[in-house]
Structure 1
Amino acid sequence: MTDPSAQAELVIAFANTVDIEDDTDALADTAGLARWLADADLTTSTPVVTAEDHDRCHRFRSGVRELLGTENQRAHVLAEADSVLRELPLLVSASAALQDDGPALRPAPELPAVPRAFATLASALAVLLITGEIERIKRCPAEDCGWVFWDNSKNRSRRWCSMRVCGNRNKARSFASRNRRSPDSPR
């Protein structure tokens, strides 16, 4: 079994800033986004977040969550995330490995704090896509959950965030629907 990389942990944390089950969103407003960026060490201090930054963040996060979904991905949500990603210049550094000064794929240094933080998230996502590690990051298919988790199963076949909770609920619903008797059926 493999542990998630730092990039995977960052993308998972970003995707899980919305909690469907608890009906909470850490990025519900500009102040929440500013706090999360600082807490995730994506900025050196709490940045000033504009309404436009906030909108970009939500489009990006929606696309990431859609990408991690297991079925029926909505192309328009992914396209919205792509429109945000096109605005974030990333640089490839050939000397990064020799100098041990960070990742080879990094945000352009001239970016302001918030776009630089988004570019760092974009860089992490790109690394996951390139390495195939993205296949181990999944979104729980339960409609009342949607939690993003790391699939540490050997064959990457894990479906539910928790078999004890979401998987069990799904099995119980399936069993009940198969065994439901119609009012006209004999007893």
Structure 2
Amino acid sequence: MEQPEAARRIERFTNTFDLESGRDDLADSDVLARWLVDNELVEPGTRVDAADHRACLDLRTGIREVLVATGEPDPHPLARADALLAELPVLVSLTSAVAGRPVLVPAPDLAPVRRACVRLALDWVDLVLTGRSVRLKRCAEHTCGWVFWDGSKNQSRRWCSMRVCGNRTKSRRHTERTRRAAAPAD
């Protein structure tokens, strides 16, 4: 299945934080503004204040948490993202309708960065409602957490890269089995 643009945008957004290196591509308001412009979510020259920056980081963390590879998502980042989304009005639009069907759009009076947050949230909603969100996954390697599109036929891909993360996981399991087998029995 070809990756839809909504999934590409969510993947780019969530992968602005690299768990392994700790690098954050949205570390401050200026780089966030550039990222939003580069991804056509705001117009050039849009200013991003500290509250907008925090809102975008909360949304990113919430979406990443929904994509948790194993176990249950942490409710705290989800609650912060939900609190942000509760403040952002979304409207049903007939004039922006696609194929005669009404669509959800950000309220026109929202500030540009908040509109961008709504667009990202609507991308996620589109993926969930169409069933394509199951193909957007977080790497199962606990040191990685990279978000990737699973284009495999049976949707069974677990790692962002079999050569790197898959190999790390399998090597660690093999080492653990070997160590247990060599340990004296009690």
TM-score, L = length of structure 1? 0.90
The reply on whether 1:35 has 2:38 as its aligned counterpart is no
Contact 1:18 1:26 in 2 (8 A): yes
Shift in CA distance, 153/184, structure 1 to aligned 2, threshold 3 Å? closer
Give the match for residue 169 of structure 1: 168
Give the match for residue 104 of structure 2: 105
* 1:88-130 C-alpha deviation (Å, 9 max, x unpaired): 2112223412589xx8222111111111111111111111111
Structure 2: distance between partners of 1:164 and 1:12: 20
Structure 2: distance between partners of 1:76 and 1:149: 23
Contact 1:35 1:46 in 2 (8 A): no
Give the match for residue 12 of structure 1: 11
For 1:16, the aligned partner's letter is N
* 1:15-55 C-alpha deviation (Å, 9 max, x unpaired): 01111233311111111111111111001213211111111
Shift in CA distance, 184/148, structure 1 to aligned 2, threshold 3 Å? closer
Shift of 1:182: 8.5
Give the match for residue 65 of structure 2: 66
1:1-187 matches, within 5 Å, as 2-71=1-70, 72-95=72-95, 96-97=97-98, 104-180=103-179, 185=184
Aligned to 1:94, the other structure's residue is in SS state: strand
Aligned to 1:104, the other structure's residue is in SS state: strand
Aligned to 2:11, the other structure's residue is in SS state: helix
Shift of 1:181: 5.6
Shift of 1:61: 0.7
Gap runs ≥5 in structure 2: none
For 2:61, the aligned partner's letter is S
Shift of 1:183: 8.6
Percent identical among aligned pairs is 47
TM-score, L = length of structure 2? 0.90
Shift in CA distance, 182/156, structure 1 to aligned 2, threshold 3 Å? closer
The count of aligned residue pairs is 183
RMSD: 2.1
* 1:135-163 C-alpha deviation (Å, 9 max, x unpaired): 10001121221110000111211111111
* 1:59-82 C-alpha deviation (Å, 9 max, x unpaired): 111100000112221122211111
Gap runs ≥5 in structure 1: none
